Amino acid sequence: MDHEWLSQIKRGTLEYSVILLIKSKDRYGYELIQILEDYPMLKTKESTIYPLLRRLQKNGYLDSYWDGVEEGASPRKYYRITAMGIEYLNELNRDWQSLIESIIDIGDEHTK
């Protein structure tokens, strides 16, 4: 399979996946890496996820807080979605829907 195509899709959809995951509940970075590990097209690493999370936070879509787990353990930085983030997610949902419809439409109408 063409790797360029995969990386392009990942670039465009990772942000969407991350916001979707954080909307369902507050998450920390490594947790997101673990969840996405199960999806070959969305698999990601620290070097991608942390800069992405910081950018989303700077844009005001996410909020964060540190939470120490148990004694002696390293604290986790949890991200939660903001009101602006929910607004942004609605926009992404609409875009995603429209993209899928467009692809289906193109497949049906123009390639027969």
Partner 1 sequence: MKNNDRDILEKYLAKVDKYLKYLPVSEKADILSELKNSFYERSKSSQSAAEIISHMEDPKDLAAKFISNTIIKDDKFPWKKFMQTFVFYSTASITWVIVIPILASLSVSFFFSSGVSVLAGIMGLVKDIIHIPIIDSMKFVFFSYEFRGIPVLVLGLILAIIFLWIGILFWKLVIKVVHVVQMQKYRMGNSKTL
The reply to whether 33 sits near partner 1 by the rule CB under 8 A is yes
Two tokens, residue 60: 């005001």
Report the residue from 45, 70, 110, 112 that binds partner 1 according to the rule CB under 8 A.
45
Task: In whole angstroms, give the CA distance from residue 21 to residue 44.
Answer: 14
Give whichever of 47 and 111 is closer to partner 1, judged by the CB atom. 47
CA distances from 17 to 41, 104, 108 (A): 11, 21, 27
The reply to whether 51 sits near partner 1 by the rule CB under 8 A is yes
Residues 45 and 66: beta-carbon distance below 8 Å: no
Which range binds partner 1 by CB under 8 A, 16-24, 46-54, 85-93, 101-109?
46-54
Give whichever of 45 and 110 is closer to partner 1, judged by the CB atom. 45
Residues 90 and 39: beta-carbon distance below 8 Å: no
Nearest distance in Å: CB 111, partner 1: 38
The reply to whether 37 sits near partner 1 by the rule CB under 8 A is no
Residue 67: enclosing H or E segment and its boundaries?
Answer: strand 62-67
Which range binds partner 1 by CB under 8 A, 15-23, 26-34, 82-90, 101-109?
26-34
The alpha carbon of 41 is separated from its chain's Cα centroid by a whole number of angstroms, namely 12
